[in-house]
Amino acid sequence: MSVSGLPPYDDTNVFARILRGEIPCRKVFEDEWALAFHDINPQAPVHVLVIPKGRYCSFADFSATASEAEIAGFIRAVGRVARQLGLEAPGYRLLANAGPDSHQEVPHLHVHLFAGRRLGPMLAPAPDQPSR
């Protein structure tokens, strides 16, 4: 479901196609609420994407319109993925881009899970781009 001022959900986005089984993925975890799979272009030794099964563009509409069960199911799934991968002790980073300033490329909510090395400062240095 879309929220005011944001574009509607695009059923042709790549993660919608992965959820429908039209595009393969290297699955890590799946339950009623979420699917987790390895990122095709990993930025760390472990780089997994966790996506809700519902049609949500980003954290914006998910947080505004998803049911309590969907939200709880998705958040628990993220935790389960980290646990399943043995990452609770060494640690991991979660990141969710939302909208143009964040450089979100795929318009289906996804949480990046990075791990497997010291991840360094929270944000990479900003590239040379005009300030807003």
Please confirm, yes or no, whether 110 is among the known catalytic residues: yes
Return the residue of 2, 44, 97, 116 that touches ligand 5GP, per CB under 6 A.
97
**Part in contact with ligand 5GP (CB under 6 A); list of ranges 2-10, 39-47, 64-72, 83-91:** 39-47
Q: Positive or negative, the Cα torsion across 105, 4, 51, 15?
A: negative
Smaller CB separation from ligand 5GP, 51 or 68: 51
Closer to ligand 5GP by CB, 60 or 106: give it: 106
When binding is defined by CB under 6 A, the residue of 3, 14, 60, 71 that contacts ligand 5GP is: 14
Residue from the set 40, 64, 69, 119 that interacts with ligand 5GP by CB under 6 A: 40
Residue type, 65: T
Stretch of 64-72, 81-89, 96-104, 115-123 contacting ligand 5GP, by CB under 6 A: 96-104
Rounded Cα–Cα distance for residues 116 and 82 (Å): 11
Stretch that binds ligand 5GP, among 34-42, 60-68, 115-123, 124-132 (CB under 6 A): 34-42
Beta bridge mates, 45: none
Residue 88 makes CB contacts below 8 A (sequence gap 6+) with: 82
Strand order in the sheet with 34-38: 27-30, 34-38, 46-52, 111-115, 93-95
